[in-house]
């Protein structure tokens, strides 16, 4: 719709025109072209608007109004009907685009030898939602789980395992996490332990058999544990390429940085200097590598392997400086323009006493959150008057869909940059602006359509409430595009909630069964809500 209006206006004015969604009560779309032309031609913008308005004759518009120098466009019934029929015709494919571009998305990236914490929920589901959004818009999306499985922290863990004489084969993930916490508590009293941690990581980097054996056991146990979480979240990431994957590629990166004079020696280490940013180290004085070295190796590998048009790093806001340094270093090395790289920084889950910290023992395990969400949903189902109509297996399946949907939506409805104060009641919310509310609306629509038996594409007229819902329905395409452009799945969540709320109000006001037009509207609402929830990686049950 916007493109059609922009094309008409360009033909009439000869200017590139930007059309936006109009504020409430000012039509469907609006443009300030008359203000711009008035300034350029030294004319009254209202007169310019009136001239443009008179020259526009199109079946797209019911009317075009001038207000304060703005042109406001009201879509005609015919335009609404044509787009509405596209929804019914294309169903799950409505809004899909074709595109030859490639996007690589780095997301989730938990650390091995630690339980999957609530802190990694945000990167995992925001990243996966962006993956689905870009895929929906026709991009070839490549998801990468940049597993945190290398670095000094694993030297510390190896040291503690050996110090306490533990058999890594017999340790659970939570026991490994406890060992890591103990190391830091003891290191506060004995700082020499930090040196031991660095020594063990140096052994690991040099390929020491015992260090590598223990590390491999910890890594394998972690992958099994993570896979359970990903199954629950319905997240499948294309490639799991941890930091250790790039170990054999680091020397090449360091050599190239030296040869191109991008890296310089400083106190026995090698650093890269930047404008308006502190320098970053790629090789320590003890010849061990850093996060930046490994991230540079990853960027080089991804450029060569996938040739992406866009890189998205869905990583916490605490990594803003590091990623700015990374993108600038990539450009300095001549590998790619840093404009191809985007950091989508998510805010942190925080406790009242401060940020989460595994080393301080302040964490909430995601497994516990998901279990509690399922239990809460199961209790509600059990107390429902219709619970006797479904089997125990169906109740458990439904509780999983509803409970986990609630946890996901509670996060995705927020802008990714916002910090979140961890609150059990909030994260497990099943009412109001929640995942279960949208799921319930979908199930309600399914029930109506099933009872109606037939859905006909029939719209001869629309009352004000019907028109409002149809207009909301056809905003789906631009909503998805805006979510992609701004890397913000919350835009889709907000849109879906508004549509569900408007439909439920409509349902409470007007009889639907026996009215072909309203059944068709119900079907379109279901299509758009299911498409929206799919992009948010939230499933819809058959009954509720």
**Residue-range domains of the chain with CATH:** 2-75 (3.30.1360.70), 107-355 (3.40.50.620), 366-535 (1.10.730.10)
Sequence-separated (6 or more) residues with CB below 8 Å from residue 403? 370, 373, 374, 375, 376, 377, 378, 428
Give per-residue pLDDT as tens, 95-112: 999 999 999 999 999 999
* Residues 147, 424: Cα–Cα separation, whole Å: 28
Strand order in the sheet with 263-266: 263-266, 269-274, 277-283
Residue 219's CB: how many other CB atoms inside 10 A? 17
Contact of 66 with 50, CB cutoff 8 Å: yes
Kindly report the pTM of this predicted structure: 0.90
* Residues 222, 113: Cα–Cα separation, whole Å: 6
Give per-residue pLDDT as tens, 449-465: 999 988 887 778 888 89
Paired tokens of 342: 């985007």
C-alpha distances (whole Å) from 14 to each of 8, 61, 68, 170, 366 are 10, 21, 22, 74, 56
Long-range contacts of 92-97 (CB under 8 A, 24+ apart): 92/527, 92/530, 92/531, 92/534, 94/476, 94/477, 94/527, 94/528, 94/531, 95/136, 95/476, 95/477, 95/480, 95/531, 96/136, 96/137, 96/138, 97/136, 97/137, 97/138
DSSP 173: H
Contact of 402 with 154, CB cutoff 8 Å: no
The rounded radius of gyration (Å) of the Cα atoms in the chain is 28
Long-range contacts of 362-366 (CB under 8 A, 24+ apart): 363/115, 363/117, 363/118, 363/119, 364/117, 364/118, 364/422, 365/115, 365/116, 365/117, 365/118, 365/174, 366/115, 366/116, 366/117, 366/118, 366/120, 366/121, 366/229
pLDDT per position in the chain (544 positions), as tens? Answer: 778 788 877 887 788 888 888 877 788 889 888 888 888 888 888 888 888 888 888 888 899 888 888 888 999 999 999 999 999 999 999 999 999 999 999 999 999 998 888 888 999 999 999 999 999 999 999 999 999 998 889 999 999 999 999 999 999 999 999 999 999 999 999 999 999 999 999 899 889 999 999 999 999 999 999 999 999 999 999 999 999 999 899 999 999 999 999 999 999 999 999 999 999 999 999 888 899 999 999 999 999 999 999 999 999 999 999 999 999 999 999 999 999 999 999 998 776 665 655 555 556 788 988 998 899 888 888 887 777 778 888 889 999 999 999 999 999 999 999 887 767 677 666 678 889 999 999 999 999 999 998 888 777 888 889 999 999 999 999 999 999 999 999 999 999 999 999 999 999 999 999 899 999 999 999 999 999 999 999 999 988 8
Our CA angle for 398, 402, 405, nearest 5°, is: 140
Which residues in 516-543 are b (16+ Cβ under 10 Å) and which e? ebbbbbbbbbbbbbbbbbbbbbbbbbee
Give the sign of the dihedral formed by CA 278, CA 284, CA 290, CA 294.
Answer: positive
Give the sign of the dihedral formed by CA 531, CA 536, CA 541, CA 544.
Answer: negative
């Amino acid at each position: 719709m916007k493109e059609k209006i922009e094309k008409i206006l360009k033909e009439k004015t000869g200017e590139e025109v930007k059309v936006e969604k109009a504020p409430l009560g000012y039509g469907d779309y609006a443009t300030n072209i008359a203000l711009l032309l008035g300034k350029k031609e030294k004319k009254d913008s209202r007169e310019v608007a009136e001239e443009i308005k008179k020259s526009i004759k199109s079946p797209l518009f019911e009317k075009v109004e001038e207000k304060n120098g703005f042109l406001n466009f009201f879509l005609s019934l015919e335009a609404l009907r044509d787009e509405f029929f596209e929804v019914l015709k294309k169903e799950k494919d409505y809004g899909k685009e074709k595109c030859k571009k490639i996007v690589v998305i780095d997301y989730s990236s938990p650390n091995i030898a630690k339980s999957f914490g609530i802190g990694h929920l945000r990167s995992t589901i925001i990243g996966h939602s962006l993956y689905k959004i870009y895929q929906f818009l026709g991009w070839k999306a490549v998801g990468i789980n940049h597993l945190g499985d290398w670095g000094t922290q694993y030297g510390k863990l190896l040291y503690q395992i050996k110090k306490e004489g533990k058999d890594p084969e017999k340790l659970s993930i939570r026991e490994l996490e406890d060992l890591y916490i103990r190391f830091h508590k003891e290191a506060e009293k004995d700082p020499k332990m930090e040196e031991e941690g660095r020594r063990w990581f140096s052994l690991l980097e040099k390929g020491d058999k015992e260090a590598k054996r223990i590390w491999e056991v910890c890594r394998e146990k972690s992958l099994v544990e993570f896979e359970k979480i990903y199954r629950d979240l319905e997240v499948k990431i294309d490639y799991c390429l941890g930091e250790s994957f790039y170990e054999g590629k680091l020397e090449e990166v360091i050599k190239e940085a030296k040869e191109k004079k991008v890296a310089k020696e400083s106190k026995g280490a090698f650093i890269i200097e930047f404008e308006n940013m502190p320098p970053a180290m790629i090789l320590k004085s003890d010849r061990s590598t850093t996060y930046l070295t490994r991230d540079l190796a990853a960027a080089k590998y991804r450029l060569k392997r996938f040739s992406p048009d866009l890189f998205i790093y869905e990583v916490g806001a605490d990594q803003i400086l590091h990623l700015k340094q990374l993108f600038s270093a990539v450009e300095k090395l001549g590998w790619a323009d840093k404009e191809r790289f985007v950091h989508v920084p998510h805010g942190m889950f925080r406790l009242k006493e401060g940020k989460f910290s595994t080393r301080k023992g302040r964490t909430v395990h995601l497994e516990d959150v998901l279990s509690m969400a399922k239990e809460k949903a199961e209790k509600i189902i059990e107390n429902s008057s219709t619970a006797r109509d479904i089997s125990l297996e169906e109740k458990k399946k439904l509780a999983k869909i509803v409970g986990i949907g609630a946890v996901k939506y509670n996060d995705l409805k927020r802008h990714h940059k916002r910090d979140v104060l961890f609150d059990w009641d909030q994260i497990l919310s099943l009412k109001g602006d929640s995942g279960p509310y949208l799921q319930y609306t979908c199930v309600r629509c399914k029930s109506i359509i099933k009872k109606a038996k037939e859905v006909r594409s029939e719209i001869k007229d629309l009352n004000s409430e019907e028109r409002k819902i149809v207009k909301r329905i056809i905003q789906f395409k631009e909503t998805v595009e805006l979510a992609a452009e701004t890397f913000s799945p919350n835009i889709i969540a907000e849109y879906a909630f508004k549509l569900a709320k408007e439909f439920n109000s409509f349902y409470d006001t007007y009889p639907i069964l026996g009215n072909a037009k309203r059944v068709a509207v119900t079907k379109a609402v279901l299509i758009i809500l299911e498409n929206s929830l799919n992009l948010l990686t939230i499933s819809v049950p058959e009954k509720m």
